[in-house]
Amino acid sequence: MNITRAKGTRDIFYDEMDNFSKIEEEIRKVCMLHNINEIRVPVFEQAELFARGVGDGTDIVTKEMYTFEDRGGRSMTLRPEFTAGVVRAYLENGFASKASPVKLWYNGTAYRYEKMQKGRYREFRQFGVEIFGASSYRAEIEAIVIAKEVLESIGLMNKLKLKINSIGCTECRKKYTEKLREYLKDKIDGMCTDCKNRYEKNIMRIIDCKEDLEIKKSMPMITDNLCEECKNDFENVKSMLDSLNIDYEIDKTIVRGLDYYNKTVFEFVSKDLDLAVGGGGRYDTLVETLGGTPTNAVGFALGLDRIEMLVKDLNKSYKKYVDMYFVVTDDEAFKVAYNLGEKLRKLDIITDIDILDRSFNAQLKYASKINAKNIGIIGENELKAGIITVKNMENSSQVTADLDAKVIKDVIKLLNKKGE
Ligand code: HAM
């Protein structure tokens, strides 16, 4: 029986895993520095949460969800995104009574049955932030800045473009969609099948469809049809981005693929690949849609698989080097080295040791395969003298030292420096 992994899923290991670890380390750091609390929500939820939350006319809900009946006959769905689940958790755990704003971040897998493409998987990873209780444009700024800082910390910002738009509030959107419907009334028959469906169910999505561009040339755009409040908010977002020297582009075609957004929306897009690595915006009606009292909210998610793909292109290595690999000749030497290793680890020295009882040469070969920076040889002579020979594998300098973890840590530092 040849069992292989499911289409659209990945095994992540070695170099790729090192990249993911680095990205996740930076995410944790940036979120901590912005005082955001981590939240973990379930991988599966009641199917209805996403139908109601993400929108039952969206591609995600109509075509892409992994929905199944559990053994109790309930309809469950593997999360296609986190926002709806986080809102459900916000309501179920009474977060509204916590100090406002409530600021949460998450990182985990999400599931969409999509056509396979570069950077598109059926199981993928998302990091995101959701901020509840802030009606001001300041929340959009906080969200954009956090995303930008994560992307910057791993050296990606100059490969990306920040695109922003405003899709208005319920009020201005109502007026706008009437205008759009009127404009498209006698043109829709000549447009693509998806847009025909959207005309009936989700007219805003016609804006970001890449078909029928000729017809769309003079189409009214929501960005030019905002009410005073939405216009002001968008101006504030832009002027704050300017003051922070964050480059952005206004893209009137960004309306986002999920139904819950209003006012500011944004995406981080790869300049070379024209692929979104992240997106988000304001969603002031979702908490109410899911049964809560009206609550302002803003958030975003970044796709870690796509980010890792771009990190790989930078050809930087985030490999963690083994600081010290013990090469031992017998059980007595193993005992001494193992005890020493435990003490070195307490001093944050990454330490490894032969557990296969291999020959001296085989141990040396392994040390170079795992890129050990130093080897610590404990052989017959060293055992007799109560010392260790430490050799730097990069510059070949070597010294003997007492079997004392602190001394060995200093020796390692010294030998590493010699190669600089
Ligand atoms: P989204 O734009 O659907 O937004 O997804 C965010 C990011 O997840 C995308 O920009 C992309 O990088 C990544 N992504 C989406 N689908 C896939 C896939 N099939 N394979 C690989 N990566 C993928 C949301 O999910 C919203 N919940 C974001 C949000 C949070 N808005 C407000 N709060």
Q: Is the pLDDT of residue 1 over 90?
A: no
CA atoms of 130 and 83, how far apart (whole Å): 7
Query: Angle at Cα 122 formed by Cα 116 and Cα 127, nearest 5°?
Result: 120
Task: Look at residues 108, 164, 157, 144 and name the one whose alpha carbon lies nearest to residue 299.
Answer: 144
CA atoms of 110 and 135, how far apart (whole Å): 28
Give the Å distances, CA to CA, from 74 to 47, 60, 66, 69, 254.
Answer: 9, 20, 14, 5, 36
58 CB within 6 A, ligand 1: no
* pLDDT level of residue 296 (50, 70, 90 thresholds): very high
Of 68 and 321, which is predicted with more confidence? Answer: 68
| Residue 246 neighbours by CB under 8 Å, 6+ apart | 144, 145, 148, 162
On whether the CB atoms of residues 306 and 119 are closer than 8 A, the answer is: yes
What is the number of alpha carbons within 13 Å of residue 156 lying toward its C-beta? Answer: 32
Q: Is the pLDDT of residue 247 over 80?
A: yes
81-113 pLDDT tens trace? 999 999 999 999 999 999 999 999 999 999 999
**Residue of 81, 165, 167 to mutate, ligand 1, most atoms within 8 A of C-beta:** 81
Average confidence (pLDDT) over 230-242: 98
Of 55-59, 250-254, 364-368, the range with the lowest mean pLDDT is 55-59
Protein residue with its CA nearest to atom 9 in ligand 1? 278
* pLDDT level of residue 12 (50, 70, 90 thresholds): very high
On whether the CB atoms of residues 324 and 412 are closer than 8 A, the answer is: yes
123-153 pLDDT tens trace? 999 999 999 999 999 999 999 999 999 999 9
Q: Is the pLDDT of residue 68 over 90?
A: yes
Identify residue 173 by its one-letter amino acid code: R
CA atoms of 163 and 250, how far apart (whole Å): 6
Task: Look at residues 280, 180, 268, 281 and name the one whose alpha carbon lies nearest to residue 224.
Answer: 180
User: Which percentage of the chain shows pLDDT scores above 70?
Assistant: 100
What is the signed CA dihedral for 209, 281, 305, 24, rounded to 10 degrees? 170
pLDDT attached to residue 310: 96
Number of helices (H), then strands (E), belonging to the chain: the values are 15, 16
Q: How far is the CA of 305 from the centre of ligand 1 (A)?
A: 11
pLDDT attached to residue 417: 86
Task: Look at residues 125, 151, 161 and name the one whose alpha carbon lies nearest to residue 272.
Answer: 161
CA atoms of 265 and 276, how far apart (whole Å): 13
Q: How far is the CA of 300 from the centre of ligand 1 (A)?
A: 8
Identify the residue whose tokens are 């930008």.
Answer: 148
CA atoms of 320 and 343, how far apart (whole Å): 19
120 CB within 6 A, ligand 1: yes
Q: Is the pLDDT of residue 397 over 90?
A: yes
Mean pLDDT of the chain: 96
CA atoms of 39 and 104, how far apart (whole Å): 6
Of 333 and 416, which is predicted with more confidence? Answer: 333
Task: Look at residues 278, 252, 295 and name the one whose alpha carbon lies nearest to residue 139.
Answer: 295
Average confidence (pLDDT) over 394-406: 96
Average confidence (pLDDT) over 219-229: 96
Q: Is the pLDDT of residue 185 over 90?
A: yes
Indicate the pairing of strand 66-69 with strand 249-250: unpaired
300 CB within 6 A, ligand 1: yes
pLDDT attached to residue 210: 85
Task: Look at residues 119, 216, 222, 108 and name the one whose alpha carbon lies nearest to residue 166.
Answer: 222
* pLDDT level of residue 257 (50, 70, 90 thresholds): confident
114 CB within 6 A, ligand 1: yes
303 CB within 6 A, ligand 1: yes
126 CB within 6 A, ligand 1: yes
Protein residue with its CA nearest to atom 25 in ligand 1? 81
pLDDT attached to residue 367: 97
Q: Is the pLDDT of residue 258 over 70?
A: yes
Average confidence (pLDDT) over 388-395: 96
Of 259 and 20, which is predicted with more confidence? Answer: 20
* pLDDT level of residue 419 (50, 70, 90 thresholds): low
